[in-house]
Every structure is written in structure tokens, then in C-alpha cells.
Structure 1
Amino acid sequence: MVEPLAERTRDLYAAAEQRLLGIIARQLADGLDAPGWAERKLAAIQPLRRASQAVVDELGKTVTTEVHDAVADAYNTGHRAAVAELGALPDSARALVDDTTPNAQAADRLAEQAVNVVTSTHSAILRTVVDKFRQVVAEVTATPLLGIGTRRQATQDAMRRFADQGITSFRDKAGRRWQLTSYAEMAVRTSVARAATEAHARTLTDAGVDLVVVSNAPRECPLCRPWEGRVLTLTGPAGARTFEVEHATDDGRMIPVRVAGSLDEARLAGLQHPNCRHSTSAYTPGITRIEQAKPDPVGYEAGQRQRAIERNIRKYKRRSAAAVDPAARKAANAKVRQWQKAQRDHLAAHPDLRRNPAREQPGASNLPAPRREATPEQVEQARVWSGDAQSVREMSDDQLAAALRTPLDDRARARIEGEADRRDLAQLLDRAAPGGHLTDDLATLSDSELGRVLGHVDDHDALRIAAELDRRDLAARLPGVRGDLVGLSDDELAARVRHAITHGLDDVPELAAEANRRDMLARLFPGGQLAVDLTAASEDELAWCMQYADGDEMARIGAELDRREPVDMPTPASSGDTVDDLLADRDALAEAMQPAPDPEGWGALADDEQFAAEAARLARTEGEEPEERRITRAEARALYDEYVYRQYLAAEDDLRGVLLNKKAQTAGHDPVSLFSGPARIAHARASDELKEWWQEHGRMTQAEFIEKATGREQRWAAGARKNESDQQNKR
């Protein structure tokens, strides 16, 4: 029932063996009559090893899946066979068996053992291929020197011996020599048979059945012949004996049963050996009728003769696959036909034998069909399909492109795309991070290139990339800068310029402006940082740098401008009135900046008409002409933010940071928020020290500040003062 399950594995190994023989034969036949043949062949060992490794790797993956499937199928087959044999059991016992599923762990264990046994031969395959290849080259090289034949004859003789021996052969513990396909088929057939019999025995045992009878298989071997038709126990002790058991259907009736021994005892004596075709079935006392076994030594010899004929057919088919010249292939094919005729004559003389064509061919078909010459694209397609990762890496860009022009499956196409991505990334890293360190000029890289490089640099360079991307985001928002050009690399920008000039487009000035912006960045921000020496930069360039500078860099730019035009800054006012001091400092700063215009007019200098119109509108809202007004409510609101921050800094310095009470600290409130807004909220969150500080230095809401700064009464100011007073009185 499970014997055909092993044929799939045998076919896989036979096809792999034939493919490896073909690889070796083609490698040897290439340039056979050319000078320096031996040197070129020995230099080609590495490509031969890679091609053979690809075959072995694919074979290992496929065999693992096939063996697990075959063992699982065999285990389920044995379980179902046992269930079918239990028809005479009581309903309760049958229900127990029906509810019991096959033991998946046992099937996995048997499958894993079979995979280990079969794949343990794979390490010898590559060694045999390389060793035999070197041996053939050495023999062929020596033959013409000895004057005993030509190079072509010597190659054919060596390959014939190689094909007869097989790709790899080894000896087992008993000293028997095995070929690759024979050993793989034997191992898998034994494993599936063990899986079926173990599932069968386990199912019977779970149902309470302990007796089985051995089948009567035709053409039995001498090891199994003593056990045919005998009753065995599944769990009992070894040794023949007779005992009484209850009749299966007649309650209370005892009948004698002769037991030849236990199943384990029979297995130790040779029953169910590798390739054994005997099985066991449930023995139901009083119902099972045992067929009298008849020895068939003649049939056994006939079966062994059929196996020998099949081996010879496979032998000469391997010779045909390993042939390096037409004459040798023709002779091998003639021997194949001769042994096929012997097979037909043998089957005619023994009608009880059946022919299995699959056992007569090393692969899945007969002699290979005539081949057409492959195109270069098909050759590259085959390299992608059958080669390993190193083979794809050795292909040039043109060869990969040729393979892409042929029909490919998703896996092969993904291999090409993955190799193309790897090469693109390698080239990008050579340009963007030579020696593992990020290049100084990041303007040459596009946004997408910086994104790809980000995962291949250290933390310091990653921060530089982040800063460069932030600078580009800022530049894209600046007036006069095109956002779609900022993220391009220098090469992409140059391509856009060439395209614009060639086609007479009108965006050449904008492209030139972007190129000039990058030149200034490279000169004034080398490596993404403001230049150390700013003395050579003009004032216009320093002003331009402010667009991209951070806080520290802005301070350096300001210091450089102060160095060029030093100004004596006025001493801060300290009258004791915070509002008056703030206004006095503002007026003193404006005076020190003369002849520069008032800040309200800076928008006009930048041609910002909207800014100037808004300033005029605010002045008219206050009922004053622009040149006559003092401070508007809008200006007072802006000054209030500075007042709050000054108060906060002074209080934090005086109180050493003790501004919030414990409850406010736990809630995570911002201490700056205490210096503005309603007094009741501020006092509820302030520390006792801050409340005392406010009693001395005062605390103003925005309405109070605007009233004092503008000199105009505010409707909310009186209420704010009363609330502050009430809160102080509560202390």
C-alpha cells in the first residue's frame, strides 16, 4: 500500500545524478582537442563546484518535503488499514479508535530519521564530483603521453567507469556498497514501511488488540520465509507458545491460539527488513482464517533477476548521459535496447512478475529529446534559475538584463532585482560613505539616496543626515526656492539643466539659482556645519546663512557682525518698575541701532507690503497716526510675553527653582504658566516662596500690563488687581 511513496524520492535522486553526470561530461568535452585543456579544466573546478552545489541544495530542500509527506501518508495509511480491520470489535472499541487520531509526533520522528539518513550522503556528493573530475583530468592527461590512446578515448573510458560507479557510493555498517539512488530509495521505502506498520500496530494496541498475523507475500526472501502466515504478539514476550483466548464474538468461549513469538522478535530475525514487502494485519480469534504459506524460492530468484536487469538498464542510461562523443553514446544506447529486450523475455517467462518502467530509468523520462541551440538570453535565464547566489553575483549587468528579457517566474525575477539593488546600494555607499564614513558634501545626494544610506552609517553620521534633511525642509519653505529641486542630487539637477537647455524650457534661471544655493551651502556650511572662519564671508552672505543656522550658529554669526561693526550696548534699566524698565530697554536698544529704521518698518525693507499695511491698520485702530503713536495694544501684547519670561527667570534665580507646590509638581504643570493668567489658578499652584516673591516684586496679568504700557484703561485690569489682592490677603 505504501511502496509507491518511495518512488518519488528515488526519481529525485536519479534525476540529480543524471544532471550531475551531464554537467561533468559537458565540462570535460568543452575544448577537448584544444591546447592547454588540462590547465583550463583544473581552473574550472570552482564553477563546477558551484553548479553541483546548486543541484545538491535544491535536492536537499525537495527531498525533505517529499520524505515528510511520504511518511505522513504512510502513517495515515497504516492507521486507516488498522481501523478497517477492526470491524468485528464491539461498538465501544470502534468508537475509541475512531476518536483517536494518528500520532503526529511519531510520524515526524520517523520522517526526521529518514531525512537524516538520506541527506547524510549529500556531503559525499560534492566531494565525489570534484575528486572524480580531477581524477578524469589526470588520467586523460597521462594517456597520450603513454601512447595508449587519444585524449577523447581516455575521457570516454574514464566517464564510463564514473557512470558505472555512480556519482557517489559508500559502504554501510555491514560492509555493503550502495549507489546514491539505491540507498535513497531503500532508506525512504524502509521509513514509510515502518511508519505504516507502527501506525497500524499503535492503532490496534489502542483498541485492545494484541495479536497480528504476517502476510503471505509472493517471492519472499529467506529471512522472511519462516514468519509467513504466523501469529505474533504486539506487546507480549518473545518465544513460541500456545495459549487460550476468548472468542471474538462468542462470549465465554475460549479457543487455543499458537503464537510464533513477538513482532519485535520477528523483526530482529529479519522480518520487515529494508525493501521488505511483508505486512501484518489484526488477528481476530475465531474469525481470522490463516492462509497456508507456500515457499516460492523460484519466484524470489526471478524477482532478483528482474532487479539485476533493471540495474543494467539504468547503468547504460547513465553511460549515455555521461558520454563525451557520439560513438560512445550510440554504443550505450544499443546496450540499453539489448537489456530492455532481456527484460521483455524475462517477463514473458514469468507472467506473475510485473514491469515497472520507472525502475528502468534514472530520471523521469527516457532518452533526452533533441536539443536546440540555446540563445544567449536563454543561457542567462538558466543561470538565474539554476545557479546559486554567487552565480548571479558573477553575472554582468548586461547578462542580467538579457535574463530579464526572457520569461521568468517571481523567484528568479526577485533574485535579479535583489542583486540589482545590492549593486546599486554598493555603488551608492562607495560614493556617499567611502571607507565607512559619510562624505562631507551631502548636497550631492538626493533625499532618497540619503534615506538608503541612513541604515548603513553610525549614529554621528545619521545625525548629520537628519540635519541635512531638516535643512532641506527649511529651504523648501523659503521664498524663491523651488521645493521640487531641493531634494534632487547634483547629478539629477545637472540632468534637469541639460534637459531644460536642450528643449528651450523657461526654468533655467531657477535651476541656476538652486545650483548657486548649493554652492553657497557647500562653501559656508562644509560638512553640514557653519564654517569655522567667517571672516571671508560678506555681510549679505552672513545674512543668508541665518536661514539655515541653529541657535549656536546664529550666535556666532551675530558675534561676527558685532566684531565688524562694534556697538556699545546700553546698560539695562533698573528703576524697580518692571514695566518701565522693559520699555526703557526697548527705547535704548532702538536708539543704539540708529540709523537703522524702527522694527515696524523692517517689513517694508523686505518689500513686504502686507506687513506695512497691517502696521498702518493697527495704528489707525488705536486712533493715532503711525508717526505719532507710542505703543499699541498689539505691541503691548508682544512685550507682555517678554515681561513674563523676565519675571520667570528672575524668580527662578532668586528662589533656586522652587516655584511649584508639591501637588502642581506631581501634576506636571509648567512653572512659566504661573506668571500669566488668573491669579486664583497661579496662587493655587505656586509655592509659598513664590507667593512671598510676588508680594515683593508684583505679578501682572496681560490686561494690567497693557493698561500700564499704553496708558489707557483696560476693562479687565481692575478685576485682575482685585483678584491678586484677594489671593495675597488669604496668606
Structure 2
Amino acid sequence: MPIHPGMVEDLAAGTRDLYAQTEERLLGIIARQLAAGLDAPGWAERKLAAVQALRAASQAVVDEAGKAVTLDVFEAVAEAYNTGHRAAVAELGALSDDGRRLVDDVTPNAQAVDRLAEQTATLLTDRHRSILRTVEDGYRDVVAQVTATPLLGTGTRRHATQDAMRAWADRGITSFTDRAGRRWQLTSYAEMAVRTSVGRAATEAHARTLTDAGIDLVIVSDAPRECPLCRPWEGKVLSLAGPDGRHTVDVEHAIEDGRMVRVDVAGSLDEARRAGFQHPNCRHSTSAYTPGITRLETPDSDPSGYEAGQRQREIERHIRRYKNRAAAAVDPEAKRQANAKVRQWQGAMRDHLDAHPGLRRLRHREQPGASNLPEPRRPATPEQVDAARVWSGDDRSVRAMTDDQLAAAERSGLLDQRARDRIAAEADRRDLDDLLDRAVPGGRLADDLTGFSDDELGRLLAHADTSDALRIAGELDRRDLAARLPDVRTDLVHLSDDQLAARVREAIEHGTDDVSVLAAEAHRRDLLAAYFPNGTLAADLSQVGDDALAWCMQYANDEELLRIATEMDRRDAVPLPPPAATGDAVADLLADRDALADAMGNAPDPEGWGALADDAAWAQELAAAIAADAARGVTAETARQVTRAEARAMYDEYVYRQMLAAEHDLNGYLLNKKAQVAGHNPISLFSGPARIAYARASDELKEWWATHGRLTQAEFIEKATGQTQRWAAGARKAESDHQNKR
């Protein structure tokens, strides 16, 4: 932020108050010494004899003031230097919390601070040597004036004493004339000296900090009612370290690499200060000039405004003078006349302000005393400071603020929509960074995605590669599947773990939900994380219980279902005889069927397994089926007889077995070239008319059929059931004819 000396001038108030108190104490000592025995004879002799006691008392006050002033000046200069330093850092980018604490605890460039403070303290304390002499000389003058007044017949001793003390109070306990011929009171001079010193400290710290950051160019502000000394420098670009005089420099553009910008420089900052720029009470500030970004505007010159401001200062001085006279008046008439003059000049002030609407009345400057500084401003609240950082800073400023500071800025009520949008954008950026830190630690998608909400997974898709996107899509599919299950709450499936935990806390505190249902959802997620790491079924299922395996089936895909079934078969393995290998395909198929029937015993038809929800119902149904078979006279032998319908169903299995066996034996050479080009399915060769099969079959397959045979459906049914089929003889003749053609 820009800095000008006026921003730290209130730091001089402490020194001013110290000297005002010193002056008040010295005047009190003198007044009490003069008032003692005022009406007694020999008053003048006794007063002159008391000069030694007066000097000792005054010496103690001055020594005490010297120590206090030195400490106050060092503290004020250090604080001013810090203020300038922080202002420069704010221009470069907002301070972090650690950086701000460092600036507050450690005075930057302590040598420069000590030098400025030492100069100011020495300048002030050197004046202390004249205080004792002034007190003693003034005391003697008062005694002489009071002694002469009754002798001349112009008044009483008491009245003369009051007039002399009033005059002394008006001109101050100590006054001197500088080399420019200006007459100063000690309080006014001390305040001016400290104001100048703290202003220099602030502006020097600002310039030094920018220089350390590699910034050499600053721009002068356009202040209202500028004085003739500062007017030539308004709106000009100055160099912090460059040479005096006008010159042109080429600097790189602030945001475009390689692009050079030509800048006209009016001179150096030191040159401007030597010419009177940033004098005491100056309101011109300097701020960093950003090449290619900062716009140079023509300043508005206001000489008449300056004259009007100077006239206002003159009126204020008249008001203060007559208020002092009213306070020091010893009779009612003098007080009435002084108050009348106060009102007269206050009227002149109102007329002057009406004629110049741009001026503002500063009533603190009309109060009696050496200072015209305003009352200390009420310090800004932390919320106001945070709001100012958001409102006036850049994106880096907002990024450097904590979540609590951003929330405080929102609560302040000082932000416009643009500033609120910046906070919202920063909050969104932090949420995304936090999400990526949790979901993609080390650049790798987390193994467990169950703890993230649907919205979070949706945001992750924009930052995921193809494999990670498939995992996220799989997790979302599982949630859609879970939402359709009877015991799962749809509104809970899509929440993140944090949101679910918040629901639990709210349910416990306010009874807004069923805690057991929320706990069941958390347990469901734990099971998914345990049994589906990385979104896929665990590689080792040997340690997973039967109930857990059954639970996993509702979230498994086809491949995972086969793995679960294989694991269940492994656990419930039934010893089966080896596959039949008699050389007759139909006999082998029937033998394997009978072996499976023996292994299954009286188990229900597999098509009805899904309805068997509990073992008790299954046992009852099995017992009823066995009893019904016995009542119909069905034995084990008769139950194994193959019906025509069963034979037709078994024929598909026969065709598939034959095709797999031929494909294995012939290395896949089943179709001839013409059939391959036509795109015929190889399985069609093993059923249907022989003329079509032999027209499409390869020579190798024809040879294989000669050895292993080829049955049509009619032939298979006849052989499986033992019942003659009308079409079986024709099929055998056709097969024989095609074999003979070879």
C-alpha cells in the first residue's frame, strides 16, 4: 500500500504530551513559588533568594523528561519504520501470519532505525540545556515586573503576577528562534521534530523494502490541495536508487516475459525530497510502479485549494489563540472579550468552509495547545483488517489468509460482490486442493473411494486419467446398485464420510435421524473397503466368511461372481468320478449325467435355488418331493431314464462338447476357405443337415467326423432314449453318403 508521512504523524503525540506535561509541571512549580507570601512585605527579596531551590526542582523535572523522551522517540521511530516496511510488503504481496509476527517482533534494519531515533533524541535533548536558564531568567523577569508595577501605580501585585504568568504561558516555558527566523515553543518544536523523524522512518522503510525486493521505480500520488514544493512531482515516476534528473529507462513488462517497456523517470526520490517533497504535513505518497500495468494519469493542479487550506490553518491559529486568552483571563471582562473573538473567528471559519466545499472542518485543530494533531483513531477490528485485505489485495493476498480470516472478512459486512466472489473462488480452490490431497495422495488415486461423496468423485473425474476414471465410474455404479437394495438408504449412499459423521452428530444431539440406520451405512462402507480394495474384489477370498461372500455377491460383477462361486465350490467340494471316456459321445454324456445326479442326491432343481431363502423350507420341500416320487413308484433307475424333452436339451451340450473337442484336436481348422470368407459360425457344422455341414467343413474336420462321428438331433434322441426316431435313419444315410464321397 502507498505510504506518506501523514500516516504516522500521530506517533508524535506521545512526545508532545511529555513536553506539555513537563511545561505544565514547571509552570506549576514557578506559580507556587511566586504565590507563596504574595502579600507579605519583602516578597521580592525572598523570591530572589529562592532561585536555587527553583533550579533544583526544575532540574529534576528536566532530567526525568529527558529519559522519557528518549525512550518515546526510539519507540515511535521503530513503529514508523515497521509501518513503512509493512506497507511495502503489502504492495509486494500480503504478509503471512509468520511474516507479520516477524515484522512486529523484530525491527527491520535496526541500524537505520537507531540512526534516525538517535538524531531526533539528540536534537530534542540538546534543547534541554536552555530550559533551566529560561526558567531562571523568566522567573527573575516576573519578579521584576511584579515589583515595578505597584511602584508605578498601574496595578496591584496580585494582578501583575497574573498578567506576567499569562504572558509566559502564552509564549511557552521555552521559546527560541531557529536559523530561518521562526520562533518556536518547545512543545511545538518537539512535536515537529518527532513528526518529521517518524515520517522519514516510514518512507525510508517503504523505499528500502521495495529496493530489497528488486523494485526501483515508484509513482507519486495526486494529493488534493498540493503545495508549490510538491506540485512538480505529482504523478511522476521516481527512481529509488537511480541518478538525479530526467531520464528514460527500459524495463521488462511485469507479466509478459521478454517484453520491454520504456518509462520516463522524473528523477530520484532523494532529489525530490531535497526539493521539498514529503515535507512535514505532506500528504503525498509513493507506491511501487509496475511496468506495463500502472497507468500514468495527469494530476489535477489545485493552487487555489492550497491557498484556501492555508487560510483555514490561519483561522484555526486565531481560534486557538483567543481560546488560550479566555482560559488565562483573570477578570470577567477579559474573558468575555476573548470569547467574543473566538466566536468571531469561528464565524469566519464557517464562511470560509461554505466558500470552499472541498475543505473539511477539523475541530481538533481549533483546540488550545501546541499540537493540532487529531485524536488517536480507534483501531480497526480484526474483521475490518481482514475485509480490507480481501477488498484491496490481489489473489496472492487472499491465498495467504487463513480460513478463519476469510470467514471474519465475510462477517464484517464491508465486502462488495466482487470481494465475496474472490473469497468463494479461493474457498473452492482450497476445497479442491484438500480433496486432491485426500483422494490422490502422492499422485495416486486412493485405494478406498467409499469415503468420498458423489460430488467429490465428480470433481475428481476432471483430474483423473483413464484408469482412475474407470475406478471412479465403478464406485459410482456400485452406489447406484446399493441404492436399489432394500436395506440401504438412498439419501445416505451418496454422502461422504464427513457428511455422514455430521449426520450422526446431529442425530445424537437433536434426534433428527435413526442412529442405527446411520451406523448400518457406515458398516456397509467398512465392508466394501475390506472386501473390495481398489474397487475390485479382494484377491484372496480364503479368509472371507460364507456370509460375507454371500454379501459380496450383490456388489460383484460377472467375473467376480465366478470367483465367489469357485471359492464356494472349493469349500463345499463334492467328490465326483472322472469324466466318462468310453469313446461313445452319447454314452459319455449320459454317464456324466448320472454321476452328477448321484452327487447331487435329491437336491432341488437349480432353477429354484433362488427361492430357497432358508434351510428349513428347503428340507421340507425336499422331503415332500421324495414322498411324492415314492407314491408314484419312481425308483432311482426309472428316475434316470431320459425323456425326449431331456434328450433335446442334452443335444445342445453334445454339440458344444463336440465342437470344443474338434477345435482342440484340429487347432481350430473347422471351416473351409469359402465358409470362412462367408463368415459362418463353426458351431453350425455340428448340427443340422449333413449336406450343409460337409459343404462348409474343412477336410481335417471331415476326417475327424469319420473317427468320432456326427449325430443330428434325431439320431441323438434315438440313441439317448432308446426309442426309434423317424428322421434318424435318413440322417444316418445322408451321413454315410457324404462319407463315401470322400
Structure 1 length as normaliser, TM-score?
A: 0.47
Which structure is larger by alpha-carbon Rg, 1 or 2?
A: 2
